[in-house]
Amino acid sequence: MATLFRDEVGPEVQRLYWELFQPSSTLDEWAYACEEAMRRETFHKLPLPARLWAYIDEYRQRQARERDAEARRLEMVAQQEREAARLQLEASPEWQAAQAARQREEDAADRRHRAWVASLSREDKILYGLLNPPNPSRWRPLTDGELEYRPQGDAAAAKAKARAQLKQILAREDAGWETSN
């Protein structure tokens, strides 16, 4: 650079530049900064360190952009490979048949379960509903008629019956607890 800019650079200036740039820049960065200074600078004097640091920062930004572009390219290639593998798998007759068989099995199991629930008594359906709450994604809004409370029979007799059933359940649980321990 000193020859190109026709600037006399003594050993002290060379040592100062070396001490400024050597610890925190690589040789590739330094070479880029020198080449860009020789290409772009119009003043015939050795560029000040701040100007050379600007070229080093430019080099680092360019390298970061290239790394990001390469990472995006590699991710795109990987995504295309995953999509191609998925399409190849979906297109195979074996996969199609396996998916259809799985769906048929799920449908048959669902029909058997619905038939079993339909065969339950009213009390068993209530108990089943308490033990297996419905899937919230299948809920539908209730109408005003469904939300209306209608007492059925004598309230005192229903309470007595519920208490008796609860006592029987608790007695069975206590008996089971004692025998299992």
Domain assignments of the chain as residue spans, ordered by start: 11-65
Amino acid, res. 113: H
Residue 65 C-beta-side C-alpha neighbours within 13 Å: 6
Burial of 24 (0-12, 13-18, 19+ CB in 10 A): exposed
pLDDT of the chain along its 181 residues, tens only?
888 888 888 899 889 988 999 899 999 999 999 999 999 998 888 899 999 999 999 999 999 999 999 999 999 999 999 998 888 877 778 878 888 999 999 999 889 888 888 888 888 777 777 777 666 666 666 677 766 766 677 878 878 888 888 888 888 877 765 554 4
User: CB burial class (10 A; 0-12, 13-18, 19+) of residue 102?
Assistant: exposed
Distance CA 29, CA 32 (A): 5
What does pTM read for this prediction?
A: 0.46
